[in-house]
Amino acid sequence: GDSVTQMEGPVTLSEEACLTINCTYTATGYPSLFWYVQYPGEGLQLLLKATKADDKGSNKGFEATYRKETTSFHLEKGSVQVSDSAVYFCALYNFNKFYFGSGTKLNVKP
Amino acid sequence: SAVISQKPSRDICQRGTSLTIQCQVDSQVTMMFWYRQQPGQSLTLIATANQGSEATYESGFVIDKFPISRPNLTFSTLTVSNMSPEDSSIYLCSVQPARPQDTEAFFGQGTRLTVV
């Protein structure tokens, strides 16, 4: 069945460091791919999405490119801030269902 | 986008009791979903609730334990029945907009449930 695998955390970075959180997926057909962010005590918020191969989603300095050849959707940011500290979930949507990765906790230190 | 109001935001309940969680959306939506997020883990889909029909439960979840109502296109409730400490989790309501081309899901802020 469809599934999402993302790198385990926690990831601890200093402010202004580069971020990559790996995400790979298994799916039939042509899923849409998402990154969601969950700040402490809150629900999930959509960070970015891509609906077809080679699409790049971007928002708030974060980017991810839908790579069908490697079945990946890695999240990147060139310079993280303390306010980016949160849990990040990779997800795919296929045939009316969402599948979420296990989440990666990011800690950014000043 | 959709704005989702979920109540209560948190509760501490005695084992053996039941809690009903409400989810109100600011627009009409076709599909509403209920998820469970156990501490430090990802989201697990409990059931899908469509207006006018019975909810569809995922493997491992049953209607007697998690009855769901969906009386209209903007509202749903999830009840956690006969609670035990293992039910301590965050419960999240999620919706997808009515337009088929809108694939992203929107989430409520969650209900943090602690069963003692």
Of B33, B42, B94, Cβ closest to residue A89: B42
Q: Is B104 on the interface with A (CB under 8 A)?
A: yes
- Measured in angstroms, the CA of A58 and the nearest CA of chain B are apart by 15
pLDDT at position B112, please? 94
Q: Which residue has the higher pLDDT, B26 or B97?
A: B26
**Nearest chain A Cα to B100, which residue?**
A96
| Paired sense of beta strands A104-109 and A11-14, if any | parallel
| Average pLDDT score over residue span A8-23 | 95
* The predicted structure's pLDDT at residue B102: 64
Whether the CB of A88 is below 8 Å from some CB of chain B: the reply is: no
Mean pLDDT value of segment A12-19: 97
Q: How confident is the model over A35-74, as pLDDT tens digits?
A: 999 998 888 899 999 999 999 999 999 999 999 999 999 9
More confident residue, B50 or A46: A46
| Chain A contacts in chain B segment 22-41 (CB below 8 A) | 31, 33, 41
Q: Which residues contact B100 (CB under 8 A, 6 or more apart)?
A: none
pLDDT of residue A108: 97
Angle at A106 between CA A6 and CA A20, to 5 degrees: 55
Of B45, B103, B108, Cβ closest to residue A43: B108
What pLDDT, on a 0 to 100 scale, did the predictor assign at position A95? 84
Query: What is the average pLDDT value for chain B, to the nearest integer?
Result: 90
Interface residue A49 vs chain B (CB under 8 A): yes
- Nearest-angstrom CA–CA distance, A75 and A98: 18
Measure B1 CA to nearest chain A CA, in Å. Answer: 10
Q: With contact defined as beta carbons under 8 Å apart, do A100 and A92 qualify?
A: no
pLDDT (average), residues A12-22: 97
| Per-residue pLDDT tens digits for B55-106 | 999 999 999 999 999 999 999 999 999 999 999 999 999 997 655 566 678 8
Using the predicted structure, report yes or no on whether residue B30 has a pLDDT greater than 70: yes
Q: Which amino acid is at A49?
A: K
CB B84 within 8 A of CB B105: no
A76 touches chain B (CB under 8 A): no
Asked whether B10 and B82 are in contact (CB, 8 A), the reply is: no
